[in-house]
Amino acid sequence: GGPIEGRQYQRLAKPVPGSTPGKIEVIEFFWYGCPHCYVFEPTIEAWAKQLPADVVYRKVHVAFRANVKIHQQMFVTLEAMGKEAQVRPAIFNAIHRGGQSLTDVDAMAKFLAPLGVDPAKFKETYNSFTVQTRVQQATKLQDQYNIDGVPTVAIGGRFLTSPAMAGFGLRVSE
């Protein structure tokens, strides 16, 4: 049978309107420092490469604590610069395999420079009003969806699932 409500997925008490009218929005809430997000990344990225025409997928970085908020701001900065998808694997590897915390803007800029991210432009964008606004929007979305753990996948503004709920692995992508 199909997924079971309350076991493999939850229904949101209050639906969240999508940002792309006429499309089913799938949002992965994640954190660069989360080991489960790191393990889930290849699965969700493989799924995202084969989206049906009526589905739009995006990532939203959460901010549960101060150190997580710093990573959220790095994510939003890189997104604004058009570099996030390109450098994401290196960030995940640096944190989960290289023991780097990347928890201050100078360390981030230094790490990202060899990956083609201009350090001065990164710092300028990191501290910009645009990035501050997008960080607030991401945190508001996290709150609207009542995200309390990651990775969590929101579907159509009405449902939540996660590798833990779905039995980890490929079931989330079904």
Residue 88 confidence (pLDDT): 98
Mean pLDDT, the chain, whole residue set: 93
Mean predicted confidence (pLDDT) in 86-114 = 97
What is the pairing mode between strands 55-61 and 24-30?
Answer: parallel
Token couple for 129: 């009003």
pTM of the full structure: 0.93
Residue 168 confidence (pLDDT): 53
Residue 84 confidence (pLDDT): 98
Residue with more model confidence, 6 or 138: 138
**pLDDT digits 0-9 by tens, 21-80:** 899 999 999 999 999 999 999 999 999 999 999 999 999 999 998 889 999 999 999 999
Whether the per-residue pLDDT at 173 is higher than 60: the answer is no
Torsion region of 65: left, alpha or beta (phi above 0 gives left; psi -120 to 50 gives alpha): beta
Measured CA to CA, the distance from residue 154 to residue 14 in angstroms comes to: 13
User: Which option is the CATH number for 10-173: 1.10.3720.10, 3.40.50.300, 3.40.50.12660, 3.40.30.10?
Assistant: 3.40.30.10
DSSP 117: -
Whether the per-residue pLDDT at 102 is higher than 60: the answer is yes
CB 12 within 8 A of CB 152: no
Domain residue limits, the chain: 10-173
Distances (CA, A) of 116 to 24, 81, 87, 123, 131: 33, 11, 9, 14, 20
Whether the per-residue pLDDT at 106 is higher than 80: the answer is yes
Token couple for 90: 């290196």
Token couple for 38: 């790191």
Which has the closest alpha carbon to 18: 6, 8, 7, 27? 27
